[in-house]
Chains A and B, each alone.
Chain A
Amino acid sequence: MTRGTIVSAVGVVLAAVLGVIYTVAVGNEPLLGLDLQGGVSVVLEPTNTSDEDISDETLDLTVELLRNRIDEIGVAEPEISRQGQNIVVSLPGVVEDQEEALDRLQQTAELRFRPVIADLGPAFDPDAITIPDADAETDADADADSEAGETDADADSEAEETESVDDSSTESEDTEDSFGFAGRLSPVLPLQDSDSETDADSETDADSEAESEEGDPAEEPADGEGEDPATDAESDADPEGEGELDEELSPLPAEQGTIDPTQLAILDACAIPDVTADDDDVAEDYVVLADDIGNRYCLGPTLLTGEVVETADVGLAFAGTGWQVNPTFKAGDDGINQFNDVAAQCFNANAEVCPSTRLAVVLDHNVISAPSINAPQFARNQIVISGDFEEEEARRLAEALRFGALPLELVPQETRTVSASIGRDVMQSGVIAGLIGLAMVAIYLMAYYRLAGLVAIGGLLISGALLWTIVAWFGEQFGLALTLAGVVGLIVAVGVSADSNIVYFENVKESYMSGRRVPTAVERAYQSAISTIVKADVVSLIAAVLLYLLTVGAVRGFAFYLGLATILDLIISWTFMRPALLWLARRQAVDENPRMLGLPNFVGNES
């Protein structure tokens, strides 16, 4: 036994012990899959109108969008992953209002061009807020306000909630003290709900409070509900019955009564009337949305959707610095003409449509970019969006534009809801079965191989400790959950690990039977044993890798843990098995009585 083998054996034991200490100290725990703790999982298959394959980048973008949506739903530790062309979303634990959550996930993300009414700056901290481009906007707002004779009509709230469609834009009274707050944020169109939620979350305490108070998960957009009475009281309801784009502006929806006066000023500047979207998935609401870095914009109703875009590219800016994006619009009335209509209005800073000359590109309620329009007319492939972009920013914008051109529909293929109690049952049976199985293996190994069985059990313990560490770490770091299939993979791996030890012990026995002393036999048998073990383990690894790459769902989880455990088996076979057995074999007692290692008495061996 060389110094190297001792070091490696001590090393692996130490690693296992440290791993467990680390895991306990940091408080890592394996993240249980939803089949073990209850929850919802859904496999979504993205499809689009063309038959082309969906590109990787589009899928990645979709995953990102889904992640944002889930963050808004507020589910802890979601797992969203691409598996081939499919996207698997797992929401472990008890999810409040599962149906709503699932609906939300399946919405088609639409790229929207919305006019920027006001740039609200980075946060809603009243002190920090500035209203940029103030003149134009304020003017516009003022105009609108003054013109507005009426407040928003959220009044008939209950009705609206269900049939938000004809919710009207109503004109708001524009006095500072009468905020025609349209508390109503559309309950019908979930995208908008999330918009409003976003608002609420980060912007107005009032809103978020309202939300939490609502407590009715099923109607999560229910902001409106809580606010309605107040709104009723204060506003003259005058539903116009249609949400046209040229509506008058009225103040931002907010919870009535709890509003902070400083916020009110800003809300007033933003002046959002309460316009509800209708069912056709066009966002006709005034909304407040944020971009990546938390900058918030008050945005008008959608003027265009991504369908007008044909494609988009990035390039280094021709003049100036940084990168730029070159969108190409579709020809004719399907594309560039529509865009030019909008561009003309924005260029002229039409107070009612596009007061700030800026047109925001919004994807799934994230503002990707909000460039200003510098010309009234564009040729469809001669457009540049520039702005000192970093390459990544530019790519992201181009990606969003391309995505908008071919929006993905997410078709649920497999939906599973496991109640927490069933999950617990399964977990319990799995753990009990696993432990008893392990105990039986240990007893058998001890009975058959005597002390050598201890080496096998030691190997299993090390393997178990390392697995626990790794699984817990993966759970914390990557949200990778341990599913029932994974548990099964681990149990299978226990068997494989025991096999490796048996292969070695039997080789030792053979070597011993051919007349060697025990320690020599232990040393000599290792080479051929490890060669066999490696061959067999590599076959297991091939299986694990291929299954992991080529399948979806449960089989994949199984493959992952099988592969992981097989690698650990290789490591332990290399480092621990031989030194440990050799150490035993060198004990005086064992040398005198080879039966202690499960070896038969063999007359040919001189003692």
Chain B
Amino acid sequence: MSLLNELFAGQSTIDFRPRWRISLRVAFALITISLLLLLTRGLNLSIDFQGGGVWEVPVGDDVTVADARAAIPAVDDARIQLVGTSSGNQIRLQAGTEALDQSEDIVSQMAELGGVDRDAVGVSEIGPTWGDQITGQALRALAFFFVVVALYLAWRLEWRMAIGALAAVVHDLLITAGVYSLFGFEVSPATVIALLTILGYSLYDTVVVFDKVLDNERSIIGERLAIDELVSQSMNQVLMRSINTTITTVLPVLSMLLIGGVLLGGAGIRDFALALFIGLLLGTYSSIFVAAPILVWLKQRQPDVRRSAELEERRRSREKAASNGADSDELDDADEETSKPAITRLDDDARLLSPGGGPPRPRKKGRRR
């Protein structure tokens, strides 16, 4: 079977363990670079965060940025851009808070430039302290979010998984921010929304992956495999799922990026979609290549005492049962598993024995119709 076929059937046997060593190093390096970039270059924050104004007016095809600059003497240090949209060109002027006093002049001059009514000029004015406020709020929301999600995941999954999941999210957010810093893309409120969305997707993906690990851990297969093998196998099982969920989420985003952003020139949409696009790819990658190895690492460093005891207990009772020749269902299955060599089969059996699926009895296959 080719790898694609294997993937399709959920039966790939990629050993992730050596790859994890690399991916963790890469993640560490990228995060370091991103942090350095953020500290040195910083982010190109839009006026929404700094205070100031943006004025936009539709103009004819022959209007250039130089024309606009000449026509709008009101502000000296304004940034003036020509933006193409589906319904023609637009002049976009952006200036700091000092320009706010002259807003009326600017609107008049721009209306004149475009030969339109004053009402056709789009205006955004943001007071100087407002940006700090919304940034503060967003950060506070984020902090709360991390705490609540950590508690929730620790409750529904386990605390090591919560740490792994959040580490992956931080990884995604920092690197996305790093990309913005590196290329000097403007960070607008739309970007912030995008970052928050990334955070959601990244977690969704990681939850799916970890839920599988948990499933396997509780099943019979979890008893025999070392934790790193077990997680690696779980990754194989969820790989296609992750790829598919990513494709279905990236498709609408790609459509926004290409159609909404480039063809139709919606600046807000483009900002948003770009951040999303980078983040979504990172989110899928990080579930498997960051969250998972961190989970493994945590588990190796600090084994789950309760689980080891449980496993030990089950092992002992099985041995005892085997020596007694007892024939309880569970033990039967277990014995059968042990005799099977193929890893793929083990996976399947793991599935069979997962709590949700209930243990079908392989040897009754013939009767099950």
Contact = CB atoms under 8 A, between A and B. Distances in A.
Interface in A497-552: 498-499, 502-503, 506, 509-511, 513-517, 520, 524-529, 531-532, 535-536, 538-540, 542-543, 546-547, 549-552
B200 A562 contact: yes
B215 interface: yes
Nearest to B197: A492
A546 B148 contact: yes
Interface in B161-185: none
A428 B255 contact: no
Contacts of B199: 543
Interface string A45-74: 100000000000000000000000000000
Nearest to A417: B123
B10 interface: yes
Give the size range of A's interface with the partner: 35 or more
Contacts of A434: 252, 255-256
A436 B254 CA distance: 10
A527 B356 contact: yes
Chain B CB count within 10 A is highest, among A99, A499, A606, for A499
B204 A433 contact: no
B251 A437 contact: yes
Nearest to B268: A484
A583 interface: no
Nearest to B117: A419
B348 to A, nearest CB: 4
B19 interface: no
B357 A525 contact: yes
Contacts of A417: 121-124
Contacts of B197: 488, 492, 558, 562
Given A413-B129, A524-B358, A550 B265 contact: no
B189 interface: yes
A286 B264 CA distance: 55
B368 interface: yes
Interface in B54-104: 56, 58, 85-87, 90, 104
A411 B51 CA distance: 14
Contacts of A498: 245, 248-249
B28 interface: no
A485 interface: yes
Interface centre among A419, A438, A524 (most CB of B within 10 A): A419
B248 A499 contact: yes
Contacts of B86: 425, 428-429
Interface in B135-159: 137-138, 140-141, 144-145, 148-149, 152-153, 156-157
A422 interface: yes
Contacts of B258: 433
Given A416-B124, A421-B58, A485-B193, A440 B255 contact: yes
B226 interface: no
A550 B129 CA distance: 18
Highest count of chain A CB atoms <10 Å: which of B148, B215, B244, B355 = B244
A43 to B, nearest CB: 7
A308 B117 CA distance: 46
Contacts of A526: 356
B362 interface: yes
A437 B256 contact: yes
A426 B124 contact: no
Interface stretch (A271-279, A401-409, A441-449): A441-449
Given A419-B119, A515-B365, A538-B152, A440 B252 contact: yes
Could you tell me the dominant secondary structure of chain A's interface residues? helix
Contacts of A515: 348, 352, 360, 362, 365
A18 B212 CA distance: 38
Contact of B211 (A492, A509, A531, A602): A531
A542 B148 CA distance: 8
B259 interface: yes
B190 interface: yes
Contact of A415 (B125, B244, B368): B125
Interface string B231-271: 00000011011001101110111111011110111101100
A506 B122 contact: no
A552 B137 contact: yes
B245 A413 contact: no
A494 interface: yes
Nearest to B369: A517
B34 interface: no
Interface string A81-103: 00010000000001000110000
B14 interface: no
Contacts of A547: 141, 145, 196
A349 interface: no
Contact of B204 (A525, A540, A558): A540
Contact of B189 (A494, A506, A553): A553
B12 interface: no
Contacts of B207: 532, 535-536, 539
A148 interface: no
Contacts of B58: 419, 421-422
A430 B260 contact: yes
A419 B121 contact: yes
Contacts of B245: 495, 498-499, 502-503
A485 B269 CA distance: 9
B152 A542 contact: yes
B11 interface: yes
B124 A415 contact: yes
A527 B204 CA distance: 18
A353 interface: no
Contacts of B193: 485, 488, 554-555, 558
Contacts of A425: 85-87, 264-266
Contacts of B240: 506
B216 to A, nearest CB: 11
A432 interface: yes
Contact of B126 (A413, A426, A436, A496): A413
Nearest to B129: A413
A422 B256 contact: no
A542 B142 CA distance: 11
B339 interface: no
Interface in B22-74: 48, 56, 58
A417 B126 CA distance: 11
A548 to B, nearest CB: 9
Given A502-B245, A506-B10, A550-B140, A433 B255 contact: yes
B208 interface: yes
B123 A415 contact: yes
A558 B133 contact: no
Given A515-B362, A524-B357, A552 B211 contact: no
B203 interface: yes
A429 B144 contact: no
Given A514-B348, A555-B189, A528 B152 contact: no
A422 B56 contact: yes
Nearest to B100: A415
25 contacts: A45-B127, A413-B130, A415-B124, A416-B124, A417-B124, A421-B120, A428-B86, A437-B253, A438-B252, A441-B252, A485-B190, A491-B253, A492-B200, A492-B249, A499-B204, A503-B245, A524-B357, A527-B356, A531-B356, A536-B208, A547-B145, A547-B196, A550-B144, A554-B193, A555-B141
Which 3 A/B pairs are nearest by Cβ-Cβ distance? A437-B252, A528-B356, A437-B255
Given A421-B120, A511-B351, 16 more contacts: A422-B122, A426-B268, A429-B261, A430-B266, A485-B190, A491-B256, A492-B201, A496-B204, A502-B245, A506-B10, A532-B212, A539-B152, A543-B203, A553-B189, A554-B189, A555-B141
Interface of B: 5, 8-11, 48, 56, 58, 85-87, 90, 104, 119-127, 129-130, 133-134, 137-138, 140-141, 144-145, 148-149, 152-153, 156-157, 189-190, 192-193, 196-197, 199-201, 203-204, 207-208, 211-212, 215, 237-238, 240-241, 244-245, 247-249, 251-256, 258-261, 263-266, 268-269, 272, 348-349, 351-352, 354-358, 360, 362, 365-366, 368-369
